[in-house]
Amino acid sequence: MPPSQLRKTRASAAGAAPSPALGAPGRRPTPAPAVEQVDTGYLETLIGYNARRAALAVIDRFMVRMAAFELKPVDFSVLSLITHNPGITSRQLCNALGILPPNLVGMINALERRKLIVRQPHPRDGRAVGLHLTGTGQKLMRDAERTALEVETDASQSLSATERQTLIRLLKKIYL
Amino acid sequence: MPPSQLRKTRASAAGAAPSPALGAPGRRPTPAPAVEQVDTGYLETLIGYNARRAALAVIDRFMVRMAAFELKPVDFSVLSLITHNPGITSRQLCNALGILPPNLVGMINALERRKLIVRQPHPRDGRAVGLHLTGTGQKLMRDAERTALEVETDASQSLSATERQTLIRLLKKIYL
DNA sequence: TATTGTTATACTCTATAACTATA
DNA sequence: TATAGTTATAGAGTATAACAATA
């Protein structure tokens, strides 16, 4: 998904220029204009638009680099939470990542088939299953988290260290 | 999609705690721990993770408010670009929004059936079609853009005006 | 030959209902 | 009765190939 061509130009002076209102029957003052340079100025004033574009840009880089580990972003998130929360349950993963339980089952099964994680009985709840990394999984995640750090550095290379911290702080204020 | 429960706690001191490495045959020192509070500290250090969570949070608000206009985020983006770029072509929309042409066709058809837009022949390219708002579409978009502004205010209520500007500026540095 | 718009189609992601076993 | 995990399935979003009309 190439989100190219997102420069700002004034083709229609965003917000002004009432334009002739086509569709009104029997009226067509101008012979239909053509757009030379697309003006995305208005959308660029919206936080949601900018946050989504930024997220997609970083995630695209992330996917390219993580392909070497055969991990999609969601797989990495799941394995990372298991790494830092040994014994975490599927339900806890779903709550933390906003995934619905039926959609997590397949991912967990695939990671288990790859011998990256194992299911252990939960110590206090017979319904639940605790998830743990295998040795293989631990090794993979050490490499994967190092690569994730490289992606971060790449993606934020136009930001100073302070700006990067500020960006993360402000993003958290939006979603927390 | 409720991305609830994303508080930080130290269940495993992120990055430390080598943990017993399950899966190694015939070795099981600890009786499988349980996780009380999920530690998302590591993921929260990643720009991609934070940007995606923030984008989803804002877009969720957006979808709730825009339901009154029967507009999804992508519909709003398309209509907004047509608003500020009368005569824009499908190809230009695809390039600006990162949508693939086959996936835009249905949206354009639906918006045309709702009498919000009309197709006009392109003044200089017989293959292309220029897109324009109807009077109905213009009225809808005046209300929709006002609502979008309210969503912005809502979503960024925990940010100062300066912080909001800073956030957008830093996000652009990520994806531009 | 290349591009615009389009159809058909496949694949992925996300969502809902319902079942089982445990609590 | 409520919850954890699971199955089946439906729907939305995203992807590629190929075609007709025009450049």
Instruction: Give the CA angle between residues A176, A71, B36 to the nearest 5°.
Output: 45
Residues B118-139 have pLDDT tens digits of 999 999 999 999 999 999 999 9
pTM of the model: 0.87
3-class DSSP assignment, residue B129: strand
Architecture (CATH level 2) of domain B44-175: Orthogonal Bundle (1.10)
Which nucleotide is nearest, taking the CA of residue A74 and each C1'?
Answer: C13
Q: Using the beta-carbon criterion (under 8 Å), do A23 and B123 form an inter-chain contact?
A: no
- B143: nearest Cα among B107, B116, B113: B116
For residues A58 and B174, the answer to whether their CB atoms sit within 8 Å is: yes
CA B107 to C1' D16, in angstroms, rounded, equals 19
Residues of B in contact with A89 (CB under 8 A): 35
Higher local confidence (pLDDT), B33 or B160: B160
Residues B53-112 have pLDDT tens digits of 999 999 999 999 999 999 999 999 999 999 999 999 999 999 999 999 999 999 999 999
Q: How confident is the model at residue A30 (pLDDT cuts 50, 70, 90)?
A: low
3-class DSSP assignment, residue B133: strand
Residues of A in contact with B133 (CB under 8 A): 19, 21-23
Residue A53 pLDDT exceeds 80:
yes
Residue type, B71: L
Contacts 24+ apart (CB under 8 A), B128-131: B128/B89, B128/B90, B128/B91, B129/B89, B129/B90, B130/A32, B130/A33, B130/A34, B130/A35, B130/B86, B130/B87, B130/B88, B130/B89, B131/B82, B131/B87, B131/B88, B131/B89, B131/B90, B131/B93
Strand locations in B28-168, DSSP E?
A: 88-89, 117-121, 129-133
Residue A65 pLDDT exceeds 70:
yes
pLDDT value, residue B30:
58
State both tokens at B149. 């502004």
**pLDDT above 70: percentage of residues in chain B:** 82
pLDDT value, residue B8:
28
Question: B10 and chain A: CB distance < 8 Å anywhere?
Answer: no
Q: How confident is the model at residue B164 (pLDDT cuts 50, 70, 90)?
A: very high
**pLDDT above 90: percentage of residues in chain B:** 81
Using CB atoms, pick whichever of B95, B123, B133 lies closest to residue A31: B123
CA B10 to C1' C4, in angstroms, rounded, equals 56
Residue B16 pLDDT exceeds 90:
no
- B153: nearest Cα among A174, A44, A16: A174
Chain centroid, CA A22 distance in Å: 39
DSSP state of B159: S
Beta bridge partners of A131: A88, A119
Q: Using the beta-carbon criterion (under 8 Å), do A96 and B44 form an inter-chain contact?
A: no
3-class DSSP assignment, residue A117: strand
Strands across the sheet containing B117-121: B88-89, B129-133, B117-121
For residues B1 and A89, the answer to whether their CB atoms sit within 8 Å is: no
Residue A26 pLDDT exceeds 50:
no
CB burial of A31-47 (b: ≥16 within 10 Å; e: otherwise) equals ebbbbeebbbbbbbebb
Residues A119-176 have pLDDT tens digits of 999 999 999 999 999 999 999 999 999 999 999 999 999 999 999 999 999 999 999 9
Q: How confident is the model at residue A31 (pLDDT cuts 50, 70, 90)?
A: low
When pLDDT is averaged across residues A13-37 and rounded to a whole number, the result is 57
Measured CA to CA in angstroms, residue B129 lies from A33, B108, B123, B141 at distances of: 11, 11, 9, 21
φ and ψ at residue A113, rounded to 5 degrees: -65, -30
Q: How confident is the model at residue B32 (pLDDT cuts 50, 70, 90)?
A: confident
pLDDT value, residue A123:
97
Residues A69-126 have pLDDT tens digits of 999 999 999 999 999 999 999 999 999 999 999 999 999 999 999 999 999 999 999 9
CA A116 to C1' D17, in angstroms, rounded, equals 37
- The chain-wide mean pLDDT, for chain B, equals 87
Question: A114 and chain B: CB distance < 8 Å anywhere?
Answer: no
